[in-house]
A and B are shown apart, each in its own frame.
Chain A
Amino acid sequence: MVRLLALVSWMATAAPQLPGQQTSGLATRLDQATYAALRPILEAAGRDSIPLRPLEAKALEGTAKRRPAAQIVAAVQRLAQELQQARLLLRQAAPTAPDAEGDIVAAAEAMRRGVPAEEVAALRRRVPPATSLEIPLAVLGELVQRGVPAAEARAVIEHMVNSGVPQARMVEIPSHVDVALRVGAPPITALGSALQSLGIPVPPPGPGGLGPRRPPGDRG
């Protein structure tokens, strides 16, 4: 009985699992050399509270795709740096917002797809801190990748988040933009058309809006 109670007590105070020894079975799916090379990266990420799940996923992806160990390690290292930069950017933009793994991953991917860091930061600053940005940032990345100017795309996303547009509607925008692009519409016009076809209110024209920008000093 005493031994059983001791076992229970030990379980309650057991040290946290080391990075890599997760239920995802990283150690079992990677060869020893690759796992050994990745372990310092994962441990460092763990110490810095960088999300580990996407790093492990990238390692598993590389193994599944039979990439060389060096390529897997490089990809995971690069992703760790991107996640660190994304987290720093989001924290600086909204210090009171929680560090959400989804937001950090989406911010890193948005920047990888061409969204300038200042637009990611602007979006974080201008929506309530507790709002999840994972889907809004993903949609922003989709729009910028399709050629929509980043500032306009960000303004639209920001408007939708603050207006309470459901994410289920937001994720439909890129495919509607594609329809307009296929018939030759410029990206910004395609975005406006997509919003109208989805019944999403278009932000008012002006700086950051969808309308034409007036040059500085133009009062006409």
Chain B
Amino acid sequence: MNQEHPLVRDYLDGELAYDALPEEHRPEADQFRRIADAMASDRVALPPGVRAAIMRRVRAAPEPAARRVWSWVMTPREIRVSPAMGVLALAAAVGALLLTRPRAGTVPDAGPSHAALTATNTRFVFLAPTASSVAVTGDFASWDPKGIPLRDATGTGVWVVELTLPAGLHHYVFVVDGHQWLPDPNASQVDDGFGQKNSVLMVPARVES
């Protein structure tokens, strides 16, 4: 926003006479004076009936969809369900509970005593200028040999994928051209128990209080 010249400001404030204003600043002063005069003029009177016409238009405007949905959801209404449907719904709920219960032989993680462990976005980057495909696999992918594909978006041989992984310790490798299993050169490596190396990824727990 352009500021007026200090001399113009003094003129507008009444501290400097128009005649004392240098000529080169008078057009600017005139422009500001016109604006100030317009703002100070009396309010425009609306013709009769305009206000009423405006309010009729506002009231006739369609209700937003979100409000219509909310009204429908909150309006009490009668719902009829057959007993068979009720039993099926109960069976589905029981089935869902059974599928999510801990398996025999495993123990749930205790986790930080005051925190909710949350998944974290993790970016995998692998440099392979001559590769035609790069994928990442590991415990988070059930060691699927096809892995999760990376993309070389820029065509420069920099392959990238971003995954949401649960907090904890993970092992992974890159699979280049479908057959070459390589650890991440930019990560720590550990023996995989098969005479090769896995890369180590530590995904920290994020505290949510």
Contacts from A to B (Cβ < 8 Å) = 1, 4-5, 7-8, 11-12, 14, 16-17, 19, 22, 24-25, 45-54, 57-58, 60-65, 67, 71-72, 75, 78-79, 97-103, 105-106, 109, 112-113, 128, 130-132, 134-135, 138-139, 142, 145, 166-168, 170-171, 174
Known: A12-B98, A17-B104, A101-B107. A139 touches B202 (CB 8 A): yes
Interface of B is mostly: loop
Asked if B177 is an interface residue, CB under 8 A from chain A, the answer is no
A10 CB, nearest partner CB in chain B, Å: 10
Taking a contact as CB atoms under 8 Å apart, the answer to whether A132 and B106 are in contact is: no
Determine how close the nearest CB of chain B comes to the CB of A153; give it in whole angstroms: 14
A128 near B202 with CB under 8 A, answer no
Bound together, the chains give a CA A14 to CA B203 distance in angstroms of 36
In whole Å, how far is B19's beta carbon from the nearest beta carbon of chain A? 65
Taking a contact as CB atoms under 8 Å apart, the answer to whether B169 and A65 are in contact is no
Q: Spot the interface stretch: B42-50, B72-80, B184-192.
A: B184-192
User: Are the C-beta atoms of A98 and B110 separated by less than 8 Å?
Assistant: yes
Query: Once the chains are docked, how many angstroms separate the CA of A128 from the CA of B111?
Result: 12
Question: Which of B105, B191, B205 is the one whose CB lies under 8 Å from A19?
Answer: B105
The yes or no answer to B144 lying at the interface (CB within 8 A) is yes
Q: 4 shortest A-B CB distances, which residue pairs?
A: A46-B105, A167-B204, A130-B113, A75-B193
Contact, CB under 8 Å: A64 / B145: yes
Contact residues of B between 48 and 67, Cβ < 8 Å to A = none
Contacts A1-B83, A67-B194 known; A45 to B105 CB distance under 8 Å?
Answer: yes
> Which applies to chain A's interface (DSSP): helix, strand, loop or mixed?
helix
Interface size class of B (residues with CB under 8 A): 35 or more
**B9 surroundings in chain A (CB, below 8 A):** none
Give Cα A79–Cα B192 distance, bound, in whole angstroms: 10
Residue of A54, A67, A113, A168 ringed by the most chain B CB atoms within 10 A? A168
CB distance from B159 to the nearest CB of A (A): 19
Q: How far is the CB of B42 from chain A (nearest CB, A)?
A: 63
Binds A, one of B25-33, B86-94, B125-133, B149-157: B86-94
Q: Please report the C-alpha to C-alpha distance between residue A46 and residue B104 in the assembled complex, in whole angstroms.
A: 6
* Nearest residue, chain A, Cβ from B166: A102
Within 8 A of A (CB), among B172-209: 181, 188, 190-194, 196, 198, 200, 202-207
Tell me, yes or no, whether B124 is within 8 Å of chain A by CB: no
In the complex, which of the residues B90, B103, B112 contacts A52, with contact meaning CB atoms closer than 8 Å? B103
A57 and B142 in contact, given A52-B106, A106-B169 (Cβ under 8 angstroms): yes
> Cβ of B145: which chain A residues have Cβ within 8 Å of it?
64
Is A97 a contact partner of B169 (Cβ separation < 8 A)? no
State whether B87 touches A1 (Cβ < 8 A). Answer: yes
CB of B84 within 8 Å of the partner chain: yes
- State in angstroms the CA–CA spacing of A130 and B108 once bound together: 13
Chain A residue with the shortest CB-CB distance to B144? A64
B95/A11 in contact, CB under 8 A: yes
